[in-house]
Amino acid sequence: MHWESLAAFSERFPRVRTTSDIFAIDGNRRTCSGGTAALDLMLQLITEREGRTLASAVSEQFIHPRIRTMQDPQRMAVQSRLGVTNERLIAAIDLMESGSDEPRAIQSIAATVGLSPRQLERLFDRYLRVRPSHYYMKLRLDRARSMLLQTTKPVLDVAVACGFASASHFSRCYRSEFGHRPRDERAAVAGDVRRRVR
């Protein structure tokens, strides 16, 4: 499953074991997360059947510089994705992106990576031009938006899953970020679907 849909799927089907690996092989079932992951799965199957030499030759024909393994993560590393090299900043962002429904305080994140809150704030400002609290809030709101669009969970359940204490606080933050309320997001999508069906 693609990383953008993983949180919503896990919320909807909590008993299903998910993975953020680029592809999965489970007995006679093979599945991938889409995009170039299908190419990596194909190269893995070629390796199993015909050997690494042929898989490398096929990879080269596709101008695919590295054959990723099943355990490779779907998302690019924070360092590549955001263009940052500071190890403590990367560790802080990794903690924020862990997707827990109990968000950690910025002070706790800073302490975990061996910084004071002020030092963490300076790193975020220097490399990303944003406060850590705003960056973290945007991550949580983006996750909530995905859940609103990909599940039928009530808005309150989405709010709680993304670490908001109340639906009203969630709605205010959502409106501030996206310009409309969470329920308006769903209504707009539902209206688009109805218009396409006609």
Q: Residue 2: its pLDDT value, please?
A: 76
Q: Residue 109: its pLDDT value, please?
A: 96
Tell me: the pLDDT tens digits for 16-64?
A: 888 878 888 888 888 888 788 889 999 999 999 999 899 999 999 988 8
What mean pLDDT comes out for the span 111-119?
97
Q: What percent of the chain has pLDDT over 70?
A: 93
Tell me: the pLDDT tens digits for 127-166?
A: 999 999 999 999 999 999 988 988 888 999 999 989 998 9
> Is it the case that residue 123 has pLDDT exceeding 90?
yes
Q: Residue 99: its pLDDT value, please?
A: 66
For the chain, give the longest Cα–Cα distance. Answer: 58
Q: pLDDT averaged over the chain?
A: 87
CATH T-level fold of 135-197: Arc Repressor Mutant, subunit A (1.10.10)
Strands 23-26 and 29-32: antiparallel
